[in-house]
Amino acid sequence: MSSTTGEADKFSSLTSTHVCYHFSLDEIQFATNDFDDEVVIGRGGFGKVYKGSICIGETSHVVAIKRLDSMSDQGALEFRNEIEMLSKLRHCHLVSLIGFCDDNKEMILVYEYMPHGTLDHHLHKADTPLNWVQRLKIALGAARGLDYLHTGVATQHGVIHRDIKSSNILLDENWAAMISDIGLSKVGPTNQSFSDFDISASVKGTFGYLDPKYFYTRRVTRKTDVFAFGVVLFELLSGRRAVDARYGEEQCSLVRWAKICVKDRKLYQLVDYNIRGTIFAKCLKRYAQIAYRCVDSVLKERPSMTEVVASLQLLLELQEKHDNSTESSGKVRFAWKIHKYLVPTAKQNYDQSGSSSSQKSLENHMNLPSSINKGESNHGETMEVATDIKKFTYVELECATRNFGTVALLVNEDEDVSEVFEGSDETGLPIAVKRFRNDEHGSLKTVEYNI
């Protein structure tokens, strides 16, 4: 370890070298304005995390300073463990340790600052939700960081994190995922870098992410981390916490509820309202399968993190290819069909039976049966779905249109009459959902059309 005194190394070099600075308590107090609560950016079982500015050589840099509380369950062992681990490990998806302070019985760690905070915050507290592609990229980045730990590229032996969770995944200025807080980590035996190993250990971790096998056997393996990562994958998809009592006994455990949804092929129920209608159906299915395998009760059925990285990379490419294709052609074509078949115009022609030509085109295009009740007003025909057409629940249509959000709104024909939303059903089939106001109070009824 080296002191900051007389050091002129550039901050950027810290992420590529294994230097770990030994800061004095005076430097830490100055950086945090004497541990002012106004600069606290995080709290946990270990204590508080402060945002501060600290000098390295002649240059001042923004850092995150974690101060271990004297009442914390984590003690000197975890403190030393994290210093030893992060002094050896460097990866683009692993938070870099810059230095530490152990003066006057203080245990303080100094990390590179992550401007966008924790994944937990953005999934459960932030006003602006992450979109689906952002979530996929975060999952992929975190998987790469965890795979780096498991394969022991830098240390010649693997590292088991033991506390993977959304609050331990940080996001940098580019929204890249960074694995953090490895104070509970365990190092595997040498010469077994690419095979599973067991380590007898006291049970450590966070309820909701804790592998039942680990809990009952006290044997921790790489697959212990894989289980926790599977919980994070479901958390990214659903926007739900790992454990949430608000959903009642049957759904309070995210893993238990998610596994039921996958088994029953009700994947749309798993999708966060904020991203419904934005996930390519094939991508959703494969993503759910990966997450399901990660939390499999049989250890041998769980994939390695190397497999997870490869799968998520393919899914990201699949989703982006679909999005690019939709943006360049599909959405334009889709909107054109909406205009042609669903949007009434002043030039519509009605035949002697009272049906408009555009309505007939809609029926022919959709192969609708004649049992559909035809409207007569060119201000927006009210149509009722016949009994031989699939009947959607309101919840399903909410899912398809992202809760009838403005991002899915294609046509606002007349705010007092009807709106048309773009979406896709649980199979990925593009649909248009036309919602009508049908009384003087402005209440809405919804009709779905396949395009």
Residues annotated as part of the active site? 163
Q: How far apart, in whole angstroms, are the C-alpha atoms of residue 91 and residue 207?
A: 27
Among residues 322, 357, 386, the one where a domain terminates is 322
**What does the pLDDT average to over 331-353?**
44
* Confidence at 400, pLDDT banded by 50, 70, 90: confident
Q: Verify that 100 and 134 share a domain, yes or no.
A: no
10, two tokens = 């550039």
**What does the pLDDT average to over 127-137?**
96
- Comparing 129 with 88, the larger pLDDT belongs to 129
**Which residue do the tokens 């914390």 mark?**
72
pLDDT tens-digit map of 10-47: 333 344 445 788 999 999 999 999 999 999 998 876 78
Number of domain units in the chain: 3
- Comparing 353 with 133, the larger pLDDT belongs to 133
In a domain, 17, yes or no: yes
Among residues 59, 85, 112, the one where a domain terminates is 112
Cβ distance 138 to 169 under 8 Å? yes
Q: Verify that 230 and 313 share a domain, yes or no.
A: yes
In a domain, 330, yes or no: no
**What does the pLDDT average to over 410-435?**
71
250, two tokens = 């049957």
Among residues 291, 322, 353, the one where a domain terminates is 322
Enclosing domain of residue 14? 2-112
pTM (whole model) above 0.75: no
pLDDT tens-digit map of 150-204: 987 655 668 888 899 999 999 999 999 999 987 656 666 544 433 455 555 566 7
Compute CA 385 distance to the chain's CA centroid, rounded to the nearest angstrom.
36
Helix (H, G, I), strand (E, B) or coil at 29: helix
Whole-number average pLDDT of the chain: 77
Given a cut of 50, whether residue 295 has pLDDT beyond it is yes
Given a cut of 90, whether residue 122 has pLDDT beyond it is yes
Q: Verify that 257 and 355 share a domain, yes or no.
A: no
Q: Verify that 424 and 298 share a domain, yes or no.
A: no
In a domain, 329, yes or no: no
